[in-house]
């Protein structure tokens, strides 16, 4: 099954970071991704940073760019206005998310407006909403069934696909897919793939999000970090993970790039993805 890819970027916070992002986009657009998403951080000016990054990515002739929009960004009126503004600017896909808590990490509980409200607002603006899913159950969900109920509610509100939180074992996603289908969730389920190039940071994120990792794999990542083989380990593990999923019928992979292209590009190449122009040195 021919793999498809999408890539996630975040707004740069310095001139050097902006050049690094531009180089990553320039390289990864060659794989013909379905879309490139741009995250929205917390705090003042986060929407402006996202919009500036979207404009920069578009100027590079990249694929469809999908902004992240969180229900923590404003009340329902503000979110509807934001959706309308994005639609006018040509945005056709966006990620509807709950948003980070005050210190980042696990998403905060957001009830007014809810993610379902945000999904409906995007759908009303003719923007295809993509939502988040937790293959190992949201850490604040009352139960696994309740978590699937929440995902089904997003689908019913207009969500067309869900991107999962990162995970480390293919069976984690495949079992989640089976449970979701049995729960009446028919929208596309896209595995979120995080190449582990920074094990210390990944370990913290996994702990905050309730993502499990086998002890031997954890030791492998830790050893690779100690021996300066993190990129090689990240490529090998993520490529094997994607290959396993692809053999079980998964054809779309959303890669969290961390604004660097070398490892994501190596994963795409390992999966047999064709490149639109000659490969160049990447960041």
Give domain status of residue 31, yes or no: yes
> Containing domain of residue 156, as a range?
4-270
CATH number of domain containing 96: 3.20.20.220
Is 69 among the domain residues? yes
pLDDT value, residue 111 = 47
- Would residue 283 count as lying in a domain? no
Q: Is residue 149 part of a domain?
A: yes
Query: Count of domains in the chain?
Result: 1
Contact call for residues 67 and 86 (beta carbons, < 8 A): yes
pLDDT for residue 41: 59
pLDDT of residue 45: 53
Which of the residues 8, 188, 203, 219 is marked catalytic?
Answer: 8
Quick check: is 276 in a domain?
no
Look at residue 275 and tell me if it is in a domain. no
Q: Looking at the domain assignment, is residue 277 inside a domain?
A: no
pLDDT tens digits for 98-116?
Answer: 875 444 444 444 445 799 9
Strands (E), the chain: 4-9, 36-38, 65-70, 93-97, 128-133, 161-164, 188-190, 192-193, 252-256
8 as an active site residue: the answer is yes
Residue the block writes with tokens 């309740």 = 146
Q: pLDDT higher for 80 or 61?
A: 80
The 10s digit of each residue's pLDDT in 120-160 is 999 999 999 999 999 999 998 999 999 999 999 999 999 99
Q: In this structure, what DSSP letter does residue 60 have? A: T
Order of all β-strands in the sheet with 188-190: 188-190, 161-164, 128-133, 93-97, 65-70, 36-38, 4-9, 252-256, 192-193
Task: Give me the pLDDT at residue 278, please.
Answer: 43
Whether residue 282 is contained in a domain is answered as no
């Amino acid at each position: 099954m021919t793999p498809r890819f999408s890539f996630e970027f975040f707004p740069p916070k310095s001139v050097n970071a902006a050049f690094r992002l531009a180089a990553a986009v320039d390289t990864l657009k060659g794989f013909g991704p379905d879309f490139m998403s741009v995250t929205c951080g917390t705090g003042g000016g986060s929407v402006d940073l996202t919009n500036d990054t979207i404009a920069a990515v578009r100027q590079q002739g990249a694929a469809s760019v999908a902004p992240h929009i969180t229900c923590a960004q404003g009340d329902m009126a503000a979110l509807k206005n934001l959706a309308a503004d994005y639609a006018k600017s040509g945005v056709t896909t966006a990620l509807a998310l709950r948003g980070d808590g005050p210190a980042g990490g696990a998403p905060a509980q957001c009830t007014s407006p809810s993610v379902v409200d945000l999904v409906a607002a995007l759908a009303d603006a003719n923007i295809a909403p993509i939502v988040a899913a937790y293959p190992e159950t949201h850490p604040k969900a009352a139960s696994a069934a309740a978590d699937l109920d929440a995902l089904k509610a997003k689908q019913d509100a207009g969500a067309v696909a869900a991107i999962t939180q990162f995970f480390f074992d293919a069976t984690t996603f495949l079992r989640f897919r089976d449970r979701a289908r049995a729960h009446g969730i028919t929208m596309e389920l896209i595995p979120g793939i995080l190449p582990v190039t920074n094990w210390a940071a990944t370990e913290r994120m996994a702990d905050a999000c309730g993502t499990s990792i086998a002890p031997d794999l954890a030791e492998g990542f830790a050893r690779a970090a100690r021996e300066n083989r993190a990129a090689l380990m990240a490529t090998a593990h993520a490529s094997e993970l994607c290959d396993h999923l692809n053999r079980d019928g998964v054809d779309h992979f959303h890669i969290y790039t961390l604004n660097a292209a070398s490892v994501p590009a190596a994963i795409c190449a390992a999966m047999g993805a064709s490149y639109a122009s000659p490969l160049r040195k990447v960041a």
